[in-house]
Amino acid sequence: MLTPWRLFLCQMALNIFYHIAKASLCLGGQDIFATVRENSPTGEIIANLGINGDPGASSIRLCLTGENADWFYLEGRTIRLNSSFSRILDREVLGSVLIAALTCYEDNIIRSRYRIMVEILNENDNMPYFLEDTIQPRYISELLTVNSMVFTVKARDGDGDTITYMTDKSTADASYFRIDLPNSGMVILDKPLDYETKTQLQVVIFAVETTTKEKYSATATVTVNVLDGDDQYPQFQPCAPVYVDGDHNICTNPVYSVNITETDEDAVLYFSPGPIHAEDGDKDILTPLVYSILSGDDNGRFTIDSKTGEISLKQRVENRLLMPSFSLRIMAAQVNDPKKYSVATALVHVLSKNRFPPFFNKTVYKGFLIESSSPATLVTTYGNQVLVVQAIDRDFRDGINPKIHYTMQPLTGSNKLYHITQDGIVIARTDRLRAFDRHILEVIATDEESGETAHASVDIEVLQRGQPVPRSPFGEERLFGDMNVGMAGGIAALVLIVAVIVLFLFLWLIKRRRERRDPADRGAVALGKHPNVEASSPSSPHHVL
Ligand SMILES: *[C@@H]1O[C@H](CO)[C@@H](O)[C@H](O)[C@H]1NC(C)=O
Ligand SMILES: *[C@@H]1O[C@H](CO)[C@@H](O)[C@H](O)[C@H]1NC(C)=O
Ligand SMILES: *[C@@H]1O[C@H](CO)[C@@H](O)[C@H](O)[C@H]1NC(C)=O
């Protein structure tokens, strides 16, 4: 800026001419220090000159020079503002001070020179605005800790007003951010970010003039893109939801299960509810996982493919009764961070290879009971052996399938008189049975593993007390074996006839003996009718009667 120099030179010249012409018309003025409001209209009075002469009437001539001289014009001794509609007095463009000089000529000779310094008074004619590069979308890791700075915005105001920044609390994501120092524009994280729930947030920021009465403001919406950080643990699939917590699905690892048989060997196991598979909880990172069996591999009987999680059975199970099931603990860990892992259970059940259905080796089992008052008696068969109604399962070396369940229902006769144990032994409520009862029952053997069934019937006869149990279906047993109720009735009638005859004979014999002993008997009677005897018991007739 040369202005000070020029001012200095003007001053020098002024001093020189001051001495030359003392009583000049150009004299009487002074340096002008004035103010004008920003955006003032043209013609606005800046200052009145104090010089002695009148430029219109006398020989003096005034001349405006200097850098900003064209912002002024003279009207007599008044300096006015020279602005126009298209040329506004803008402090933000011109700066705060306008500088010019006023030279006064008298007879074309410079007589005096005055400085003009006009301060433009600021008007709040500018809104704040955000610097574009400070409100660009941001990419922030979800692992950013709360209370750290997320980003800083910056707004400008043409009038140089002080700006305060604040977030719009009414927006959905407002709770994630705050501004601690209102003048800083520093946006602080107020709540943890979570990529798994929200991948993008919007924060609305106001920049407001603090010191003006207009309180002009600017608004900017900054998009915060959340980047997936490695904060989630692997999760076995399919994950079984337990409950929903906000936007989070809280779920547990599934329990995998598979059925194998004793013959399986060197086979890949296909588990339900799906193959053994885990996924990194960080869906955007999906770090590779490594699988291993933590426990239960039974010395290498089971192996796992560390990459795919596929489990294979290497050695067959020799005896499923000794090893009916296995429980394996499977771990899936992040390759890059083994501390991030998850454990699931895989159950392996050993089933029998069900090639044969169970069967009974008889269609009808013969059972006997001896009439008695005992509440429970084992039903026997020929030779008084305990009757065992047992189905044979050729899937088992000894033919005995422990998973067979026996049930029994009466085909004839009443219910609840018989009960079958799980060993195939039939128990009867003997106290409710009578000799010559005969009941036919159906026995059903169900293989609980395969659901296959076998049927047989049990034909039970109740024998009389003391009656021997037949030795076999072919000998003496035929007599009783085929005995039916009619025959039993016949026998009973026969026994009755014999009994009647015996009774008859007995009575007859007694009669005969009485007739033979009559004289003695009569004596005894006479003796009994002795008067003394009669007299000795006068009241006895009542007793006798
Ligand atoms: C007023 O300003 C305009 C535009 O710059 C200029 O052309 C004009 O000469 C000025 N008037 C005076 C009296 O200086
Ligand atoms: C395994 O076998 C049991 C009984 O037979 C059956 O209930 C179950 O559904 C089977 N499980 C699988 C995974 O096949
Ligand atoms: C039928 O099976 C039983 C065992 O349940 C056995 O003791 C018996 O000898 C078998 N009988 C025949 C004819 O196979």
Pocket perturbation via mutation, ligand 2, pick of 256, 258, 259, 326 by most ligand atoms within 8 A of CB: 259
Pocket of ligand 2 (CB under 6 A): 257-259, 272, 349, 351, 449
Looking at CATH, the fold of the domain delimited by 129-227 is given as Immunoglobulin-like (2.60.40)
Q: What pLDDT, on a 0 to 100 scale, did the predictor assign at position 413?
A: 64
Distance of alpha carbon 57 from alpha carbon 227, whole angstroms: 81
Pocket perturbation via mutation, ligand 3, pick of 359, 360, 361 by most ligand atoms within 8 A of CB: 361
Distance of alpha carbon 278 from alpha carbon 250, whole angstroms: 16
Distance of alpha carbon 286 from alpha carbon 233, whole angstroms: 10
The amino acid present at 349, given as its one-letter code, is H
Work out the pLDDT band at 179, boundaries 50, 70, 90. Answer: very high
Q: Check if the beta carbon of residue 457 is closer than 8 Å to that of residue 443.
A: yes
CATH code of 235-351, in short, is 2.60.40.60
Q: What does the block give as tokens for 399?
A: 């033919």
**pLDDT digit string, tens, across residues 326-364:** 999 999 999 988 888 999 999 999 887 777 889 998 999
Predicted structure pTM score: 0.47
Pocket of ligand 3 (CB under 6 A): 361, 388, 390
The amino acid present at 523, given as its one-letter code, is G
Pocket perturbation via mutation, ligand 1, pick of 82, 85, 86, 98 by most ligand atoms within 8 A of CB: 82
What are the φ and ψ backbone dihedral angles of 172, each rounded to 5 degrees? -60, -40
Looking at ligand 1, which atom is closest to the CA of residue 74?
13
Work out the pLDDT band at 544, boundaries 50, 70, 90. Answer: very low
Q: What pLDDT, on a 0 to 100 scale, did the predictor assign at position 218?
A: 94
Q: What pLDDT, on a 0 to 100 scale, did the predictor assign at position 532?
A: 38
Q: Which of 393, 385, 394, 424 is nearest to 407 (CA)?
A: 424
Q: Atom 14 (ligand 3): residue with closest C-alpha?
A: 361
Distance of alpha carbon 23 from alpha carbon 58, whole angstroms: 14
Paired with 419 in beta bridges are 427
Q: Three-state SS string across 191-246, please?
A: CCCCCCCCCEEEEEEEEEECCCCCCCEEEEEEEEEEECCCCCCEEEECCEEEEEEC
DSSP string computed for 18-67: HHH-TT-TTTT---EEEEEETTPPTT-EEEE---SS-TTTSSEEEEEEST
**pLDDT digit string, tens, across residues 488-536:** 555 666 767 777 777 778 777 777 766 554 444 443 333 333 333 333 3
Length of the chain: 545
* 81-90, 105-114, 293-302, 534-543: least confident range: 534-543
Cα→Cα distances 131→128, 154, 201, 211, Å: 10, 6, 20, 20
Distance of alpha carbon 427 from alpha carbon 434, whole angstroms: 15
Q: Is the dihedral of CA 427, 429, 431, 435 positive or negative?
A: negative
Distance of alpha carbon 365 from alpha carbon 244, whole angstroms: 61
The answer, yes or no, to whether the previous bond of 41 is cis (omega within 30 of 0) is no
What are the φ and ψ backbone dihedral angles of 65, each rounded to 5 degrees? -135, 180
Q: What does the block give as tokens for 494?
A: 């026969």
Is the pLDDT score of 35 beyond 90?
yes
Looking at ligand 1, which atom is closest to the CA of residue 64?
14
Q: Atom 2 (ligand 2): residue with closest C-alpha?
A: 259
Work out the pLDDT band at 228, boundaries 50, 70, 90. Answer: confident
Q: Which residue has the higher pLDDT, 271 or 262?
A: 271
Q: Which ligand has an atom closest to residue 257 CA? A: 2
Q: Check if the beta carbon of residue 272 is closer than 8 Å to that of residue 266.
A: no
Q: What does the block give as tokens for 117?
A: 């310094």
Distance of alpha carbon 204 from alpha carbon 130, whole angstroms: 12
Distance of alpha carbon 220 from alpha carbon 136, whole angstroms: 10
Q: What does the block give as tokens for 516?
A: 């033979």
Q: Atom 5 (ligand 2): residue with closest C-alpha?
A: 449
Q: Is the dihedral of CA 14, 15, 17, 19 positive or negative?
A: positive
Q: Give me ligand 1 centre to Cα 82, in Å.
A: 6
Cα→Cα distances 257→168, 239, 272, 317, 325, Å: 53, 15, 5, 16, 10
Q: What pLDDT, on a 0 to 100 scale, did the predictor assign at position 542?
A: 43
Q: Atom 10 (ligand 3): residue with closest C-alpha?
A: 361
- The percent of residues in the chain predicted with pLDDT above 70, rounded, is 84
Architecture in CATH of 364-482: Sandwich (2.60)
Architecture in CATH of 12-121: Sandwich (2.60)
Q: Check if the beta carbon of residue 64 is closer than 8 Å to that of residue 102.
A: yes
